[in-house]
A and B are shown apart, each in its own frame.
Chain A
Amino acid sequence: MDKNELITKLKSIVKPYIQDEEAFKNLSEETDFVKDLKINSANLVDVILDVEDAFDIRIENDEMEKMISVKAAMDIVNLKLK
């Protein structure tokens, strides 16, 4: 999937859970879900489940482990879509 298209899709997925509007506006590959967007960890579970639903993929717990940034989420999704 095209990189920008993927970021846009991820951005719409995390939107309901973010607690820092400014960081959300400036969302990039480098954005950290917890440190920047201040997503609480229970909602991080929701983000993962929403990503699974949106891309029709299943993420194993050991793969999920690194999914704390936009970049890491993009890598997992790309890997799964191959």
Chain B
Amino acid sequence: MIGNDIVDLNNIKSNWNRSRFLDKVFSKKEQQIIFVSENRPQTVWLLWSMKEAAYKIYVQQFGIRFFNPQRLVCHLSSSTIGYVTIENKTYYCSSIISKDYIYTVARLNYLKNYNSSIFKIKNDIYVTQSESLKYRFLKTISISKGLKFKNLSIRKNIFGVPKLFHNDSKLPIQMSLTHCGNYCGYVYF
């Protein structure tokens, strides 16, 4: 299983400086990491994207949705490598930090190879983003797996987890999609 998350740093509509925001999302220890970091906003959204990417795997694994970012605990081993724990579960994270976005891929097995892509789109309207992302992802699958584009589709299960289908059969491909502002990313193996 795999999960990803992208944050468009120029299109963040949440103000993390808002009173009580950090307490809802980060433990005291994580807030400490943020406060001592050279670039606080960047660290806020790095830890956030790690939690989001890990949460996406958790939902796939257990079919349980919840909203409590503090239950996901971030551990950083370097500026872009780390892991997230949810109770006794561990999710390994690799992030990419640029001046415009932060992108994290989380996985259960850190040795697992995956294909990942990030791209920019002009429109930041949700529906358009979501459609362009699906289109780009399905095009890639179509080419790499030699399957007809028109027979491919993405269907969400009751927990909102996207699954890849060829006609009516689910393909044995693990995937995750993310978009925020003008940036999209997909990952699969």
Provide the residues of chain B in CB contact with A52, threshold 8 Å.
20
Q: Is B83 an interface residue (CB 8 A)?
A: no
Number of B residues near A (Cβ < 8 Å) is 21
Q: What is the predominant secondary structure among interface residues of chain A facing chain B?
A: helix
Contact between B68 and A61 (Cβ–Cβ < 8 Å)? Answer: yes
Interface residues of A in 34-78 (CB under 8 A from B): 34-35, 38, 40-46, 48-49, 52, 61-62, 64-68
Given the interface pairs A34-B160, A45-B21, A45-B25, the reply to whether A67 lies near B13 with Cβ below 8 Å is no
Interface residues of A in 1-43 (CB under 8 A from B): 17, 19-20, 34-35, 38, 40-43
C-alpha spacing A38/B70, complex, angstroms:
21
**A: contact size bracket:** 20 to 34
Contact between A19 and B21 (Cβ–Cβ < 8 Å)? Answer: no
C-alpha spacing A67/B65, complex, angstroms:
10
Min Cβ gap A39→B in Å is: 10
Provide the residues of chain A in CB contact with B71, threshold 8 Å.
61, 65
C-alpha spacing A7/B69, complex, angstroms:
25
C-alpha spacing A20/B130, complex, angstroms:
12
Contact between A44 and B20 (Cβ–Cβ < 8 Å)? Answer: no
Provide the residues of chain A in CB contact with B67, threshold 8 Å.
41, 44, 48, 64-68
C-alpha spacing A43/B13, complex, angstroms:
7
Contact between A38 and B126 (Cβ–Cβ < 8 Å)? Answer: yes
Residue of A nearest to B21 (CB): A45
Q: Mark B93-127, 1 if CB is under 8 A from A, else 0.
A: 00000000000000000000000000000000010
C-alpha spacing A20/B70, complex, angstroms:
27
Contact between B21 and A49 (Cβ–Cβ < 8 Å)? Answer: yes
Residue of A nearest to B13 (CB): A43
Residue of A nearest to B66 (CB): A65
C-alpha spacing A35/B59, complex, angstroms:
13
Q: Mark B10-22, 1 if CB is under 8 A from A, else 0.
A: 0011100011110
Query: Can you list 16 A-B contacts with CB-CB less than 8 angstroms, sorted by A residue number?
Result: A17-B13, A19-B126, A38-B126, A40-B180, A41-B52, A42-B13, A45-B14, A45-B24, A45-B69, A49-B18, A52-B20, A61-B70, A64-B24, A64-B67, A65-B71, A68-B65
B→A interface (CB under 8 Å): 12-14, 18-21, 24-25, 48, 52, 65-71, 126, 160, 180
List 13 additional contacts besides A42-B12, A46-B14; criterion CB under 8 Å. A17-B13, A38-B126, A41-B52, A46-B18, A49-B18, A49-B20, A49-B24, A61-B24, A65-B66, A66-B66, A67-B67, A68-B65, A68-B66
